[in-house]
Amino acid sequence: MATAAASQPVAQHMPRHVAIIMDGNGRWAAQRHLPRAAGHRAGVEAVRAVTRAARAMGVQALTLYAFSSENWRRPAEEVSGLMGLLKFFIRNDLAELVRENVRLRVIGDYRRFPADVVALVDDALGRTAANTGPILAIALNYGAQAELVTAAQRLAARAAAGAIPVEAIDGDAIEAELETRELPPLDLLIRTSGEQRLSNFLLWQAAYAELLFVDTLWPDFGPDDLADAIRAFGQRQRRYGGL
């Protein structure tokens, strides 16, 4: 467990919104000659530790890529196991999120999930809806390209109906249709396990985010690693196209 001093980055360099592609559960398990399900279980423990650390460090919003729209291609047994872990996390951690004033958000079409999972997610969203503290956003059945297509279709339909002029479809209008519209702008996107791609995650939102790819497998990523990532963010110069 990291000490408080070791885990605390410099406050003035704190990103408001951090997103994480949690990659490497399967490889973590393979290295230990364990089934993939064991890697996913260890990954849930990492989620718990990192979300607590992010709150302690003062991160306003944390978005975790938990289940992509492409994950349906995995074996049915693994998908079922992931659903079970999601239910486990909600049942075991919801009381803490409520107590800590965390606002839970979901991005993605989670209503494709089994009815019992949907019911649990809906209950969790309802029980944290009035909270005013940091946001924990979970990406469930999420794909950034589909998000952008849906936003474009909604705006096009309004323009076709005469509700808005075509000229009103600008960057602000698109952002207002995105599922992250209630979150601060994305400052830092981390991917674990050494892979260096976005995998259809927050493509619009990442336009000016700082990207950090680390070799650590997700189950081994902890508070110290998050603090290191935030320190690295603080050393970046964000010019947004300027000098």
Cα dihedral 177, 179, 185, 189, rounded to 10, equals -140
To the question of whether residue 24 is assigned a binding role by annotation, the answer is: yes
Q: Which residue has the tokens 């994305």?
A: 186
Closest CA to 189 of 209, 208, 207, 175: 209
To the question of whether residue 74 is assigned a binding role by annotation, the answer is: yes
Closest CA to 52 of 118, 136, 178: 136
SS3 letters across 135-160? EEEEEEEECHHHHHHHHHHHHHHHHH
Cα 17 to Cα 15: distance, rounded to the nearest angstrom: 6
To the question of whether residue 197 is assigned a binding role by annotation, the answer is: yes
Cα 6 to Cα 2: distance, rounded to the nearest angstrom: 6
To the question of whether residue 25 is assigned a binding role by annotation, the answer is: yes
To the question of whether residue 84 is assigned a binding role by annotation, the answer is: no
Cα 194 to Cα 211: distance, rounded to the nearest angstrom: 13
To the question of whether residue 199 is assigned a binding role by annotation, the answer is: yes
| Annotated catalytic residue 141 | no
To the question of whether residue 17 is assigned a binding role by annotation, the answer is: no
Stated as kind and residue range, the H or E segment containing 127 is: helix 115-128
To the question of whether residue 80 is assigned a binding role by annotation, the answer is: no
To the question of whether residue 70 is assigned a binding role by annotation, the answer is: yes
To the question of whether residue 210 is assigned a binding role by annotation, the answer is: yes
71, 109, 131, 224: the catalytic one is: 71
To the question of whether residue 177 is assigned a binding role by annotation, the answer is: no
What type of residue is 188?
A: L
To the question of whether residue 23 is assigned a binding role by annotation, the answer is: yes
Length of the chain: 243
Residue 138 phi, psi (nearest 5) = -110, 125
**Sign of the dihedral through C-alpha 117, 122, 125, 127:** negative
23, 93, 187, 225: the catalytic one is: 23
To the question of whether residue 179 is assigned a binding role by annotation, the answer is: no
| Annotated catalytic residue 200 | no
To the question of whether residue 96 is assigned a binding role by annotation, the answer is: no
Q: Which residues pair with 195 in a beta bridge?
A: none
Active-site residue set: 23, 71
Q: Please report, in range form, the residues annotated as the binding site for substrate.
A: 24-28, 36, 40, 68-70, 72, 74, 191, 197-199
Q: Please report, in range form, the residues annotated as the binding site.
A: 23-28, 36, 40, 68-70, 72, 74, 191, 197-199, 210
Q: Please report, in range form, the residues annotated as the binding site for Mg(2+).
A: 23, 210
